[in-house]
Structure 1
């Protein structure tokens, strides 16, 4: 299918073509017609599958059609709630790109920056608002937010909002919107609590599920290295010097791990940027921009800080730490091999992470290729042979005599 086959306005199709998108992804092909039909929709698909365009394009189309019929200024028509500032900025950029030939106003509000410009923008009027939960509630409490005209309500990355403790905030925000509205829920996974949320916020939803094996792109090579934990940094340096080139994202499980690896790579002369939850918003934005603009060719990140960030032309992923949630592995490697390009994912597995690899391979329904030829392989411990019973007949005899003596003494 081509984008031109979808019932989208010619101005939207023109903008999409300028982004060099010609064929919709599987999630876009399934979700866009449902959203255009004004259905409530639950979409389950991994990162990197094009979920943002799957709701952005039809929302722009629906609001543009409505605008041609009637004009209601200063009222927010569509609200997209997303868990992180980085995601809010990314979604804003996408909406602006796709709607640049139409008369629609899009704005994003999030924490870490001044409230005043956001208040002014809301006063002046917005058609589409993208927001993080905390800042949205701040604006509502200060009397700067009117959600009474919301027609399309989107929960983006719902499972991440659950992980970050935003679900009660989301329920509170949804209650501020009209009861009669179209609701779209997008999530990488659908755990039980998200199911419960869906039951309370979506009436008769249509479900779109893209299986994990469909999203583990065939053009992403996956390589697995077994090694002692103490040698992971050494193997990382070895591969960077001899094997891996281009733009690289390295995933670590903790903020401390990100900082430690960053210092090591900087000392070794690499151009590195990093993001994690304890860095300021300005620092995180600069790190992402430096990586996008190739001022740094290596980005080290934790999963929560990097979730949903769309960076094109990533050549390789390094799973420095194996994720303990198998879906996270799919999120990570989906950062490369986008838009039909090839990519490669390197995973470093220490003995304590073997169980994680098994669950990942079960989820993706394939074995990850193991590379044995590297400088730090795990040497399998040699099992000692059981020693034969070496008690001599002489000792057995002495033991027997001693036991006889004990028996004689009892009376």
Structure 2
């Protein structure tokens, strides 16, 4: 009996939460808490400082957001004035936006009692001053932005602050916020409750622990760094660099990669090179990197989650993980250091992650692949490996051995015969000739200018007209490379024999569905526009068609 009680999951309604929070949880369709939520929420409600390590996609945001909201609601019963009670800091603007959105979802039934604002946006400090003067209960922002508001006198935390949260704590120092966090300590009260949420417990997190926490509870959940093989299938293809383009084109065009997909590359240049390559075959893609304005990045992720786009090409840049690299490189384009793509961002219902370029270290691989197979969803990770990347692959295999304690490799070879796609290679080479350095440079400039314009529109007009956001698309062709119509279709002779039968069956189904649609539409009266079109078509002067001769032989 004792063992059954220990293994029984504590449900949300058994944690003593406010009914308004439970109502919001029910609206979000969360049936039961995740492991981190089950362990962290009761401890947080007891007032303990918490440092937790849990892999991405396990619900760390709700693990701190729920107790923060609960404690604010409890204090409201005796409060005599409105004041800032909680401070939430994350290393990137995208994560700030995501955290604020999650908090708003959890306060859906108590939005009048608990107010939250995100101050991470790229706007003047003075424009956010009126919002902070209203003393919101929760303030979300990056450490540098919070510090700027404190120095400007827009925010005061000494007397009222009760809770401090740092999400993705292992990235805070690597993004260059060490001095900001230390300077922030002078503006915080001596006593407060703190939460450090992280995917790893490295030296940076331990330094933050000494700086912020007081006798904390450390939660190290006994779980693998990535989901088990039944939920996440990991494949690799060993190939040369030039073969990567042939492979990605073939896999996408033949429908072997289906569903929402994130393709990771290691540089911004590679982002545009791959986009220009794929758009010649009629494959629309979006680009996500640190050069784009934050409003556009947030909007793109939001629209991707809603299913408006299927493929994102994301630059997981080394410079973002190691800001010292920025000084060594000549920067032609301005990058946003408060931007992160492989870490933390809640990409929803991602079916596939493709490592076009293999990540530089184990942590990067874990965080990239963690974008798929989140929660109870299943996912696939496919990595293209060249000879130089074999050593990195072995390091990842060794680090992920906890998923396969029996000694088997976590990676399965993707059974793909390169000989069967030789016909695609000629097309790929033809398309790659057009993707020159000049074309890439023009594409980068054109995309950045367009997104700056979109970002301005997003900031002003679309705040009042949210439905019109659908008009702004991020997957349009850049048109800096000449389009070749013959590349957009795949003739039957190029399709591998094993896939031809499947394609024929799909073709029969489509033809059958079309004939069914036509037969169903016979009984319907023609629209007025269609009648006008038919009348115009019958007039040879308007339709430019003359059917007098047809195929008949001329009479002598």
Q: Secondary structure at the match of 2:173?
A: helix
Matched, 1:90 2:98: yes
Contact between 2:225 and 2:366, CA under 8 Å: does it hold in 1?
Answer: no
Contact between 1:249 and 1:298, CA under 8 Å: does it hold in 2?
Answer: yes
CA RMSD of aligned residues (A): 1.8
Of the three residues 198, 222, 233, the one matched with 2:234 is: 222
Label 1:210 to 1:320 Cα distance change in 2 as closer, same or farther (>3 A): farther
What residue is the counterpart of 2:32 in the other structure? 23
1:341 CA displacement: 1.7
TM-score, L = length of structure 1: 0.87
Label 1:13 to 1:376 Cα distance change in 2 as closer, same or farther (>3 A): farther
Contact between 1:231 and 1:376, CA under 8 Å: does it hold in 2?
Answer: no
Of the three residues 68, 77, 84, the one matched with 1:68 is: 77
Matched, 1:332 2:368: yes
Distance (Å, rounded) in 2 between the aligned partners of 1:301 and 1:324: 15
1:205 CA displacement: 1.0
1:17 CA displacement: 1.4
Query: What do residues 75-124 of structure 1 show as CA deviations (whole Å, max 9, x unaligned)?
Result: 21000111111111100010011011121010111142343442111001
What residue is the counterpart of 1:118 in the other structure? 128
What residue is the counterpart of 1:252 in the other structure? 265
Distance (Å, rounded) in 1 between the aligned partners of 2:419 and 2:360: 23
Of the three residues 130, 144, 152, the one matched with 2:163 is: 152
What residue is the counterpart of 1:59 in the other structure? 68
Matched, 1:183 2:191: no
Distance (Å, rounded) in 2 between the aligned partners of 1:114 and 1:267: 41
Q: Which has the higher contact order (CA 8 A, sep 6+)?
A: 1
Of the three residues 250, 273, 281, the one matched with 1:268 is: 281
Distance (Å, rounded) in 2 between the aligned partners of 1:352 and 1:192: 29
Query: What do residues 26-45 of structure 1 show as CA deviations (whole Å, max 9, x unaligned)?
Result: 21112111111111111112
Label 1:210 to 1:235 Cα distance change in 2 as closer, same or farther (>3 A): farther
Of the three residues 118, 127, 130, the one matched with 1:108 is: 118
1:338 CA displacement: 2.3
Contact between 1:32 and 1:55, CA under 8 Å: does it hold in 2?
Answer: yes
Distance (Å, rounded) in 2 between the aligned partners of 1:6 and 1:38: 14
What residue is the counterpart of 2:517 in the other structure? none
Q: Secondary structure at the match of 1:126?
A: coil
Distance (Å, rounded) in 1 between the aligned partners of 2:183 and 2:222: 31
1:352 CA displacement: 1.0
After TM superposition, list the pairs within 5 Å mapping 1:1-400 onto structure 2.
1=9, 2-73=11-82, 75-102=83-110, 103-148=113-158, 149-211=160-222, 213=224, 215-217=226-228, 218-242=230-254, 243-303=256-316, 305-306=340-341, 307-365=343-401, 366=404, 367=409, 368-375=411-418
What residue is the counterpart of 1:388 in the other structure? none
Q: Report how many aligned residue pairs link the two structures.
A: 376
**Deviating more after overlay: 187-196 vs 345-354:** 187-196
Unaligned stretches of 5+ residues in structure 1:
378-411
Contact between 2:97 and 2:298, CA under 8 Å: does it hold in 1?
Answer: no
